């Protein structure tokens, strides 16, 4: 939709945009400052995460009103043994964040990543994850399910987990932010055997960012497994040098959000109310 540019404008001017989204749980209204200069796609990631979290907060409030409170709490890291998917913009953003950390923190993360890679190589999963990230075809459930099950069976702690706390909490992937449950916390110790009741996420920011990246680069949507995200971003760092106008990135991303919400309403048998362009 928009042609990438390789020249970067240094002034960081921005434009205040008012966004209104109609979700099944209610209406999200928020204001965001969007860069007007040419920026990489990572510039839109914090804005989209914030939008997703505000929409998810409406679902959590609705769940609480019905008597179903969130059971997730600090240091409850049972879900941090699952295979987490990232979109390419999130992988690039994570690489930038890790590279900004003090050297000691980077070394601890690198050591945990190396251990995770060793375990996955031993169980012949590492190459499958790399093939998944480099696939020219959009992954479907039939392709993902056996990989997800094999990974979860290993109970590998997330390489970014430190003393059962997320060491990249402010930069954690959208998929992590969107997994909230109301079922008893102890049932999360074995999600394969126990029934888990999640709070619905009205907007899936990871897939939306993946669709955005696919449209911008004219490539199929990609799914990057978290254990290989830094390696993938390193190999593809030249692609992150492309820049687009910030307001155009937002417009394109919001188009994906509206399409996602329209499908959600239609699956529920409802006519979606019109969403409004940012002003």
Q: What DSSP assignment string belongs to 168-209?
A: TGGG--HHHHT--B-S-GGGGGGTTTS---BPP-SS-HHHHH
- Ranges of residues in the chain with a pLDDT under 70 are 1-12, 268-279
Number of domains in the chain: 1
In a domain, 203, yes or no: yes
In a domain, 274, yes or no: no
DSSP run (H or E) holding 20: strand 14-23
Query: What pLDDT score does 267 carry?
Result: 77
In a domain, 196, yes or no: yes
In a domain, 272, yes or no: no
Domain of residue 214: give its range.
Answer: 14-267
State CA 135 to chain mean position distance.
Answer: 19
Tokens of 88: 């390419």
Query: What pLDDT score does 9 carry?
Result: 38
In a domain, 276, yes or no: no
| Helix residue ranges per DSSP H, the chain | 45-65, 88-100, 103-122, 126-134, 141-154, 174-177, 205-217, 229-235, 246-267
In a domain, 254, yes or no: yes
In a domain, 110, yes or no: yes
Query: What pLDDT score does 269 carry?
Result: 62
pLDDT in tens, 11-59: 458 889 899 999 999 999 999 899 889 999 999 999 999 999 999 999 9
Q: What angle do CA 139, 263, 140 make, to 5 degrees?
A: 10
Tokens of 114: 């190396």
In a domain, 206, yes or no: yes
| pTM for this predicted structure | 0.89
């Amino acid at each position: 939709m928009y042609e990438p540019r390789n020249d970067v404008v240094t002034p960081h001017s921005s434009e205040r945009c008012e966004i209104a989204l109609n979700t099944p749980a209610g209406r999200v209204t928020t204001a965001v400052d969007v860069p007007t200069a040419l920026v990489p796609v990572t510039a839109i990631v914090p804005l989209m995460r914030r939008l997703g979290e505000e929409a998810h907060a409406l679902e959590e409030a609705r769940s609480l009103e019905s008597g179903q409170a969130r059971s997730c709490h600090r240091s409850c890291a049972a879900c941090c043994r699952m295979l987490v998917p990232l979109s390419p913009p999130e992988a690039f953003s994570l690489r930038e964040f890790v590279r900004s950390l003090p050297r000691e923190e980077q070394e601890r993360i690198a050591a945990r990543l190396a251990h995770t890679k060793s375990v996955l190589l031993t169980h012949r999963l590492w190459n499958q994850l790399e093939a998944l990230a480099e696939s020219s075809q959009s992954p479907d459930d039939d392709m993902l399910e056996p990989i997800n099950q094999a990974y979860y069976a290993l109970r590998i702690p997330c390489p970014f987990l430190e003393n059962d706390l997320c060491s990249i909490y402010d930069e954690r992937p959208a998929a992590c932010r969107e997994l909230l449950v109301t079922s008893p916390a102890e049932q999360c110790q074995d999600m394969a055997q126990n029934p888990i009741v999640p709070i619905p996420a009205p907007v899936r920011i990871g897939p939306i960012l993946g669709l955005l990246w696919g449209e911008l680069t004219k490539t199929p949507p990609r799914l990057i497994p978290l254990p290989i995200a830094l390696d993938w971003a390193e190999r593809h760092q030249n692609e992150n040098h492309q820049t687009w106008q910030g307001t155009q990135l937002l417009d394109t991303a919001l188009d994906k959000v509206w399409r996602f919400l329209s499908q959600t309403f239609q699956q529920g048998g409802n006519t979606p109310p019109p969403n409004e362009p940012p002003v």
